[in-house]
């Protein structure tokens, strides 16, 4: 991957500002959704899907690798397993999804180099808060007060999806960049990557690969973030980078 760096090409969106339209999340399947990100060839990468109670879909027409779901509100039954708010699933080869309540969820379409589903049915986590968290370590420093829960790790390309809890009063140590695309959805609390992009529940941030960002990252009251990447994530500090004017 090219190491040519860009300065602050991040995109910040807010759920209330996004139109709810029928989106082709993959060929043959259209769902009422707020599109978060499309890939360069126009395919859906991530979206906030809204499902009325009794509606559903299946992966029978899916000709691509794994689909991930993180439930924001309501309840879904996936291959006979009920998952509630804060539940997560990676759909199988022939999975069926049914909304048993009016629901909304993050849908993530993995890339063509992702590991394909190994099973016909889905891998489900009823409540991600039941996963034992660990304290992340960055540049040899333990981030006291942080909690990271890994929901999914792609053995084929190193991509992952995680929940991250950040304590109140945290302030970033300066601009940084990643060698892969990073997407972040705020579940709860407040955070800002810089002074121009305040984020709260329902806010979404896309940090493209090799983009220097995080010029004044901080949270006052703490937050919970859903993060997902399309390759092996690494945080690389960018000392001396100047904030664009």
In a domain, 85, yes or no: yes
Do 148 and 110 belong to one domain? no
- For residue 244, being part of any structural domain is answered with no
> Do 58 and 153 reside in the same domain of the chain?
no
Considering the domain architecture, whether residues 165 and 116 belong to the same structural domain is answered as no
Q: For residue 17, report the phi and psi dihedrals to the nearest 5 degrees.
A: -95, -5
Q: Is residue 61 part of a domain?
A: yes
The span from the CA of 190 to the CA of 219, in Å, is 6
Of how many residues is the chain composed? 245
Q: What is the pLDDT of residue 66?
A: 81
Residues 44 and 112 placed together within one structural domain of the fold: yes
102, 129, 156 — which closes off a domain? 129
Q: Which of 129, 164, 192 is a domain's end point?
A: 129
Same-domain check for residues 185 and 205: yes
Q: In the prediction, which pLDDT does 244 show?
A: 46
The pLDDT, as a whole number, for residue 239 is: 63
* Statement to judge: residues 124 and 152 lie in one domain: no
Claim to verify: residue 63 and residue 148 sit in the same structural domain: no
Last residue of a domain, one of 70, 103, 129: 129
* Same domain flag for 112 and 136: no
Domain assignment present for residue 47? The answer is yes
Q: Give a yes or no: residue 215 inside a domain.
A: yes
Q: Please give the share of the chain, as a percent, with pLDDT higher than 90.
A: 74
Q: How many domains does the chain have?
A: 2
Task: Evaluate whether 22 touches 51 at the Cβ level (below 8 Å).
Answer: no
Q: Do 140 and 125 fall within a single domain?
A: no
Judge whether 139 lies within some domain.
Answer: yes
Q: Do 76 and 140 have their domain in common?
A: no
Q: What is the DSSP string of 221-244?
A: S-EEEEEEESS----EE-TT----
Q: What is the dihedral of CA 207, 15, 224, 65, to 10 degrees?
A: -60
**Are 124 and 50 within one domain?**
yes
Q: Is residue 29, in this structure, part of any structural domain at all?
A: yes
DSSP single-letter state for residue 52: -
CA-CA distance, 5 to 26, in Å (whole number)? 31
Q: Which of 102, 101, 36 lies closest to 68 in space, CA to CA?
A: 36
Distance in angstroms (rounded) separating the CA atoms of residues 69 and 152: 11
Predicted pLDDT of residue 177: 93
Instruction: Quote the CA–CA distance of 182 and 45 in Å, as a whole number.
Output: 12
Residue ranges making up the domain that contains 194: 6-13+130-237
pLDDT at residue 146, as a whole number: 96
Q: Is 62 within the bounds of a domain?
A: yes
Residues in the chain with pLDDT < 50? 1-2, 243-245
| CATH number assigned to the domain comprising residue 42 | 2.60.120.10
Residues 228, 211 share a domain: yes
């Amino acid at each position: 991957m090219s190491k040519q760096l860009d300065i602050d090409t991040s995109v910040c969106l807010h759920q209330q500002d996004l139109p709810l339209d029928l989106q082709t999340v993959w060929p043959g399947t259209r769902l009422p959704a707020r599109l978060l990100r499309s890939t360069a060839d126009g395919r859906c990468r991530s979206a906030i899907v809204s499902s009325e109670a009794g509606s559903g879909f299946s992966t029978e027409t899916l000709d691509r690798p794994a689909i991930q779901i993180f439930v924001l509100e309501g309840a879904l039954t996936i291959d006979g397993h009920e998952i509630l708010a804060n539940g997560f699933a990676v759909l199988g080869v022939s999975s069926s999804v049914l909304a048993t309540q009016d629901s909304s969820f993050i849908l993530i379409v993995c890339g063509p180099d992702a590991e394909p589903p190994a099973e016909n049915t889905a891998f489900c986590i009823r409540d991600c808060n039941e996963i034992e968290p660990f304290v992340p370590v960055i540049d040899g420093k333990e981030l006291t007060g942080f909690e990271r829960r890994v929901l999914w790790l792609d053995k084929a390309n190193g991509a992952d999806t995680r929940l991250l809890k950040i304590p109140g009063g945290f302030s970033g140590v300066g601009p940084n960049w990643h060698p892969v695309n990073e997407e972040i959805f705020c579940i709860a609390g407040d955070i800002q990557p810089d002074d121009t992009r305040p984020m709260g529940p329902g806010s979404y941030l896309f940090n493209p690969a090799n983009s220097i960002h995080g010029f004044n990252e901080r949270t006052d009251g703490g937050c919970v973030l859903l993060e997902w990447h399309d390759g092996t994530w690494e945080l690389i500090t960018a000392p001396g980078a100047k904030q664009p004017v």
